Structure 1
Amino acid sequence: MPGRASGPGTPDRRLARAIQRVTATALGPYQTAVVRIGFAAAWLFFLLRELPHRRELYGPDGPWSWEMGRQLIANNRSFTVLMWSDSAIWFEIVYAVAMLSSVLLLIGWRTRTVSVLFMVGVLSLQNRSIFMGDGGDNVIHLVAIYLVLTRCGQVWSLDARRARRTAQAASGRSRDLVGPTLWIVLGCGLVAATLLGDRTGETWMLVLLWLLWVAQGLWWVACRYAPGEPRVLLDVLANLTHNAALAVIMAEVCLIYATAGWYKIQGSRWQDGTALYYPLRLDYFTPWPFLSDLLAGSGVIVMLLTYGTVIVQVAFPFTLFNRRVKNVLLVAMMLEHAGIALLLGLPFFSLAMIAADAVFLPTVFLLWLGGRVRRGRERLRPVARRPVPGQRRTAEEHAPRTLVG
């Protein structure tokens, strides 16, 4: 019996196209860039705001002493380089590196390396004093790990600009001395950490850092001396890892809202509206007392905000396959977090959640936003340095539509 010909719409063809897309493309480049920028900015602003109080929060002057932190880490096996020494100088170095890595990740300079330093800074400070945070620190904690596995510097970064300049070079090949130098310096740091670091709860992290260091070296060798099949294989592995990490970030956001919404449904405080009313009456959560009193004095507004929050959080994971409804709820959730930042005085929690929500923003909107920012930047440049219109097509014009957009 003759077999049926496989048409363009058959399951086999669709599966082949899906596999081709996942292995050949890093999906959601603009979404991951926004997540990178948002979380780097949230952590940087938090560190800057707490700069005068850094020693009380995470350093030697805090109520959670170094010895107490050591005992806790011995039990939960978490990672923090602040346990290597109780010196105030060492703490200042770690805090400064955490801020510097946030700035570099924000602008997208050497994102593969800087994302690892960013993760180390986040884990080191947060695991040092686990009771310091407002909920947004947990999201930053997780996404800092996921960003290491993504190719978050493909667009809107200094790395992307450097890649374009390298591609436009006459030889097509530039001598990059910064990358190998940075790799060697960090390798020496890993050797010192392996030989001299405290073994309390950090063995798993050192293994991960060594694997990332070796992978980065193999990538550089393949790009420079074996641009054929080895480079293609590494690109496929990098795309698969990126897409898997992107899917995990999306699943994490859905899980956060689903669990939050369903727990709210079960609680009597959210059923009678007091879960919102009480925070509006607490001095600690009222940076604008007049506005809080105005909202708390209206039972209708409290009811609408209470039930609207629950409905949006429960419904969002079920709307991902309906683009229009998903975008409407996405705007509602971002406005909700903006309201939390304004009314309850939790700006960093709200910024972290808005950055996490950005993974679902449509690609078309992000391209429009990037174009607006680019045109605004062009107006600020001197006339002599402005490029001629139509001289160069940007990568945004060739951006494929993705599942998240």
Structure 2
Amino acid sequence: MSVEKDIGRTPSPLKGMGAKLDAAIARLLNKITSTALAPYQAAVIRIGFSLTFALYLLREWPHRLELYGTTNPWGFDLAQRLIASNNAFTVLMWSNSRLWFELVYHGVIVASVLLLLGWHTRTMSILFMAGVLSLMNRSVLLGDGGDTLIHLMASYLLLTRCGQVWSLDARRRERKKTPHRDGCDRVSVALWILAGAGLAVAQMTGFAKIPTGWVLILWGLWLIQALWFWAGRRGSPDARALLDVVANLVHNAAMLVIAAQVCLLYATAGWYKVQGARWQDGSALHYPLHLDYFSPWTGLSQVLDSRSTVVTLITYGTVVAQVAFPFTLLNRRVKNVMLAILMTEHATIAVICGLPFFSLAMIVSDMVFLPTNFLRWGGSRIAAARDRITARLPGGKGPDDRDERRSVPV
């Protein structure tokens, strides 16, 4: 009897493991609800994709009417029929006038630049997404894989808190020292009022032709912003804490989706290449080097193609790197080496194949996996270079004259 009682009193190993598991889950939940993870990576995505799209629109500015405007071969009637069938969102279908197109095109450039700078990132991320979708859905036959990636990332970026660092928003919060009033300044409220009034007028007058699903999304985003204003003005710590928890959860989920999207992109690209005969025999790179569209530097392409061993190694190396990349995330050092290889590959594609915006979009996507310490180091170096340039200007401040902005590298 005594032996049975002693056995009953002995703590079970399973109970100890269960307690540890519960504690680990509790720590994880606390982390993902109390903090917006990967703020520097989110800032890189914001800066990189807004810069890429702004540069693309500026490069294509002389050809904007043929690509997306009134002289587009994919006519307005054809675009309307396609939009009616797939319910895609584009404000360019609201009117076929030249004036409306110019307002939208140049407005998207402005929104891209302001998002890059991090000026009222919540509002600018919505306008950026609307601009990207409007232009790309207007002419679905244009673009390449880089455009598709920008299309996806613009939608994901909307869900992140991408203005926490390296932004004018971060600098303003640091100066005011009022995080509880984040986003409640007069400019934010004015932008919110203008956006709501413009959307309401466009709908009531029949000017806007928006699918029902997108109406709910746009007005839902507008109401969410109203909740932030209400919590900030009211000064309720409980309401603000609840909104912060929800925003952190959404942000962390969006960053996870962005990382998964990049892994899926490389995995599918690599496995599809494995199935191709040209990639299997190592000659896939040979063919695009002889296409005028992918050979802006003919002499460079000829020099590269003249070395069959190099062509074969690059072909096989591309497949191996793309298939292996998702698995390298299990080891930090291997992952960093693979990131360097992939970024070098995309930079080479930009030069040899003449695809700068595709390559830039891919490089920015890869940067979401860069270590935080490396990104912070890079940000501090850029800030130091900015201070040196500023100090040389008339009336500029030197590094020792800076105020509290030192903690927010931009």
Q: TM-score range by the shorter chain?
A: over 0.9
Kindly provide the amino acid, as one letter, of the partner of residue 385 in structure 1.
K
The 1-side partners of 2:22 and 2:406 are apart by 35
Quick one: structure 1 residues 172 and 234, their matched pair in 2 at CA, closer, same or farther if it must change by over 3 Å? Answer: closer
Quick one: structure 1 residues 217 and 296, their matched pair in 2 at CA, closer, same or farther if it must change by over 3 Å? Answer: same
Q: Unpaired runs of 5+ in structure 1?
A: 398-405
8 Å CA contact 2:283, 2:312 repeated in 1: no
What is the match of residue 321 of structure 1?
330
Q: 1:157-207, CA deviations, whole angstroms, 9 ceiling, x for partnerless residues?
A: 0000011011079x9999821111111000101212332356766221121
Q: Is 1:233 aligned with 2:245? A: no
The 1-side partners of 2:85 and 2:383 are apart by 50
The 2-side partners of 1:322 and 1:126 are apart by 37
Q: Percent identity?
A: 54
1:381 Cα deviation from its structure 2 partner: 1.7
The 2-side partners of 1:253 and 1:185 are apart by 36
The 1-side partners of 2:178 and 2:406 are apart by 13
The 1-side partners of 2:94 and 2:362 are apart by 32
Matches within 5 A, 1:302-317: 302-317=311-326
What is the match of residue 402 of structure 1?
none
Q: Is 1:341 aligned with 2:353? A: no
The 1-side partners of 2:402 and 2:113 are apart by 32
Secondary structure of the structure 2 residue equivalent to 1:63: coil
The 2-side partners of 1:196 and 1:353 are apart by 41
Secondary structure of the structure 2 residue equivalent to 1:123: helix
8 Å CA contact 2:171, 2:408 repeated in 1: no
Kindly provide the amino acid, as one letter, of the partner of residue 60 in structure 1.
T
Secondary structure of the structure 1 residue equivalent to 2:177: helix
Q: 1:71-112, CA deviations, whole angstroms, 9 ceiling, x for partnerless residues?
A: 011111111011111111111111011101000011000000
8 Å CA contact 2:388, 2:399 repeated in 1: no
Q: Unpaired runs of 5+ in structure 2?
A: 1-7
1:27 Cα deviation from its structure 2 partner: 0.5
The 2-side partners of 1:174 and 1:367 are apart by 25
Matches within 5 A, 1:107-122: 107-122=117-132
8 Å CA contact 1:80, 1:124 repeated in 2: yes
Secondary structure of the structure 1 residue equivalent to 2:287: helix
Matches within 5 A, 1:51-90: 51-90=61-100
The 1-side partners of 2:364 and 2:302 are apart by 29
8 Å CA contact 1:286, 1:344 repeated in 2: yes
What is the match of residue 300 of structure 1?
309
8 Å CA contact 1:6, 1:13 repeated in 2: no
Kindly provide the amino acid, as one letter, of the partner of residue 45 in structure 1.
L
What is the match of residue 400 of structure 1?
none
The 1-side partners of 2:59 and 2:405 are apart by 40
Matching residue within 192, 196, 201 for 1:183: 192
Secondary structure of the structure 2 residue equivalent to 1:381: helix
Secondary structure of the structure 2 residue equivalent to 1:121: helix
Quick one: structure 1 residues 243 and 172, their matched pair in 2 at CA, closer, same or farther if it must change by over 3 Å? Answer: closer
Quick one: structure 1 residues 23 and 102, their matched pair in 2 at CA, closer, same or farther if it must change by over 3 Å? Answer: same
Matching residue within 145, 151, 173 for 1:135: 145
Q: Is 1:167 aligned with 2:174? A: no
Matching residue within 393, 397, 406 for 1:385: 397
Q: Is 1:280 aligned with 2:292? A: no
The 2-side partners of 1:233 and 1:277 are apart by 57
1:391 Cα deviation from its structure 2 partner: 6.7
Kindly provide the amino acid, as one letter, of the partner of residue 256 in structure 2.
A
Matching residue within 24, 40, 44 for 1:14: 24
| RMSD over equivalenced CA pairs, Å | 2.4
Answer with 324-333 or 195-204: which moved more. Answer: 195-204
Q: 1:284-320, CA deviations, whole angstroms, 9 ceiling, x for partnerless residues?
A: 2111111111110101110110011000000001111
Quick one: structure 1 residues 15 and 174, their matched pair in 2 at CA, closer, same or farther if it must change by over 3 Å? Answer: closer
What is the match of residue 5 of structure 2?
none
Q: 1:345-369, CA deviations, whole angstroms, 9 ceiling, x for partnerless residues?
A: 0001111111111111111110110
8 Å CA contact 2:174, 2:405 repeated in 1: no
Matches within 5 A, 1:198-237: 202-237=211-246
The 1-side partners of 2:370 and 2:19 are apart by 28
The 1-side partners of 2:41 and 2:65 are apart by 35
8 Å CA contact 1:166, 1:174 repeated in 2: no
Quick one: structure 1 residues 279 and 324, their matched pair in 2 at CA, closer, same or farther if it must change by over 3 Å? Answer: same
8 Å CA contact 1:109, 1:157 repeated in 2: yes
Answer with 258-267 or 379-388: which moved more. Answer: 379-388
Quick one: structure 1 residues 190 and 217, their matched pair in 2 at CA, closer, same or farther if it must change by over 3 Å? Answer: same
8 Å CA contact 1:6, 1:12 repeated in 2: no
8 Å CA contact 1:316, 1:329 repeated in 2: yes
What is the match of residue 360 of structure 1?
369
What TM-score do the two structures reach when normalised by structure 2? 0.91
Q: 1:324-364, CA deviations, whole angstroms, 9 ceiling, x for partnerless residues?
A: 11111111111111111000000011111111111111111
The 2-side partners of 1:11 and 1:363 are apart by 27
Q: Is 1:247 aligned with 2:256? A: yes
Quick one: structure 1 residues 78 and 394, their matched pair in 2 at CA, closer, same or farther if it must change by over 3 Å? Answer: same
